[in-house]
């Protein structure tokens, strides 16, 4: 499960991203990573991990119901915790990819005993990935690092089998009228954290951009059913098909 080198020089992004994650308390020990999304109750991000555990469980229940062998591709897998969880699904093979070599190294080390889990250091333009190869392409807390939502979805659709699906979880989508305000909040956050350059690598997407695709919302945090639910995830779960 050693990461395979890709062809993109992402050192500027990786350095900024890792420095920010360290400051936020999001760089985990090998022991912590091995059991994510479970984490100590006194951890600063315990509540966040409870929400990510919820979205992980929803996705796994959904995929398990298909009751067939599956090849799953997680884009922007980071330290690989979700790819590891997905590898527990019956008869599946999981590939996680990222341009963050440091976290991929940790993922490869921590999860090296999982035979159906592989990590590749690459990007979607790489010829490593064949067209019509995957049953599911997953973006979990990663779609905001791609500048063009339309472009990344089109690239992902080419990697899917005819009945495959894209799943986007744990990322905000904004009404068009709120995009500028969201961008300003992000800039203020990165400035306060001491990493204003990070704004050049963080992007805000709108549900309106999805209208050109065959998408559905499998979880809507603003629906009447979920509106008054305590400890709910604030992120939609979006499924896109051919």
Tokens 């500028």, located at residue: 180
Closest C-alpha to 137, from 121, 109, 152, 156: 156
More confident residue, 86 or 125: 86
What confidence score (pLDDT) does residue 225 get?
A: 74
Give CA–CA dist 38/71, Å, rounded: 25
Q: Is residue 85's pLDDT more than 60?
A: yes
What confidence score (pLDDT) does residue 233 get?
A: 85
Q: Per residue in 105-124, pLDDT tens?
A: 999 999 999 999 999 998 77
What confidence score (pLDDT) does residue 224 get?
A: 76
Which backbone phi and psi does 165 adopt, to 5 degrees? Answer: -140, 150
Q: Is residue 3's pLDDT more than 60?
A: no
List 183's β-bridge partners, or say none.
none
Q: Is residue 9's pLDDT more than 90?
A: no
Give CA–CA dist 156/238, Å, rounded: 14
Q: What's the rounded mean pLDDT across residues 195-216?
A: 95
Q: What's the rounded mean pLDDT across residues 184-191?
A: 97
- Pairing type for strands 214-219 and 237-241 reads antiparallel
What confidence score (pLDDT) does residue 222 get?
A: 84
For residue 227, name the pLDDT band (cuts at 50, 70, 90): low
Which stretch of 4-8, 24-28, 105-109, 150-154 has the lowest confidence by average pLDDT?
4-8
For residue 228, name the pLDDT band (cuts at 50, 70, 90): low
What confidence score (pLDDT) does residue 223 get?
A: 83
In the chain, where are the structural domains located?
A: 11-241
Q: What's the rounded mean pLDDT across residues 119-147?
A: 90
More confident residue, 10 or 42: 42
Nearest 5°: the CA angle 6, 129, 33 is 65
For residue 73, name the pLDDT band (cuts at 50, 70, 90): very high
Q: What's the rounded mean pLDDT across residues 189-214?
A: 96
CATH code for residues 11-241: 3.40.50.150
Residue 54, both tokens? 């919820």
Percent of the chain's residues with pLDDT above 90: 83
What confidence score (pLDDT) does residue 124 get?
A: 76
Contact 99, 14 (CB under 8 A): yes
């Amino acid at each position: 499960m050693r990461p395979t080198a890709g062809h993109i020089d992402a050192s500027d992004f990786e350095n900024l991203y890792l420095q920010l994650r360290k400051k936020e308390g999001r760089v985990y020990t090998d022991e912590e990573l091995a059991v994510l999304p479970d984490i100590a109750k006194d951890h600063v991000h315990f509540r966040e991990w409870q929400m990510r555990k919820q979205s992980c469980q929803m996705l796994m229940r959904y995929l398990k119901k298909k009751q067939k062998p599956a090849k799953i591709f997680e884009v922007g897998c980071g330290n690989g915790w979700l790819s590891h969880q997905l590898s527990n699904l019956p008869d599946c093979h999981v590939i996680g990819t990222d341009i963050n070599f440091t976290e991929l190294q940790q993922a490869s080390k921590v999860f090296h005993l999982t035979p159906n889990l592989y990590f590749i250091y690459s990007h979607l333009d790489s010829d490593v990935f064949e067209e019509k190869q995957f049953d599911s392409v997953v973006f979990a807390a990663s779609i905001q690092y791609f500048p063009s939502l339309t472009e990344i979805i089109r690239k992902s659709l080419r990697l899917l089998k005819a009945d495959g699906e894209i799943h986007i979880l744990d990322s905000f989508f904004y009404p068009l009228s709120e995009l500028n305000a969201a961008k300003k909040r992000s800039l203020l956050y990165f400035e306060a954290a001491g990493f204003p350059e990070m704004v050049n690598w963080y992007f805000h997407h709108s549900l309106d951009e999805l209208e050109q695709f065959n998408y559905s919302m499998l979880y809507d945090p603003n629906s009447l059913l979920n509106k008054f639910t305590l400890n709910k995830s604030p992120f939609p779960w979006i499924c896109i098909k051919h």
